[in-house]
Amino acid sequence: MPEKRRFLLRLDPKVHAAVEKWAADDLRSLNAQIEYLLAEAVKRAGRYKPEPPQAVGAQGPEREDP
What is the identity of the amino acid at 4?
K
Q: Does the model's pTM come out above 0.85?
A: no
Closest CA to 4 of 28, 32, 33: 32
Instruction: Please enumerate in sequence order all residues whose Cβ is within 8 A of that of 42, keeping only pairs 6 or more positions apart, or say none.
Output: 48
Per residue in 16-55, pLDDT (tens digit) is 999 999 999 999 999 999 999 999 999 999 998 877 787 7
Instruction: Please enumerate in sequence order all residues whose Cβ is within 8 A of that of 19, keeping only pairs 6 or more positions apart, or say none.
Output: 11, 30, 33, 34, 37
pLDDT band at 60 (very low <50, low <70, confident <90, very high): low
